[in-house]
Amino acid sequence: MDININQIRIPKLFRTSTPNQKKINKVKEFYIKNGCLNKPIVILSNKTIQIRKLKMWTF
Per-domain residue ranges for the chain?
5-57
More confident residue, 2 or 38: 38
pLDDT above 80: residue 4: no
Q: Which tens digit of pLDDT belongs to each residue from 12-49?
A: 777 777 778 898 888 888 888 988 777 766 555 565 44
CB 53 within 8 A of CB 21: no
pLDDT value at residue 1: 53
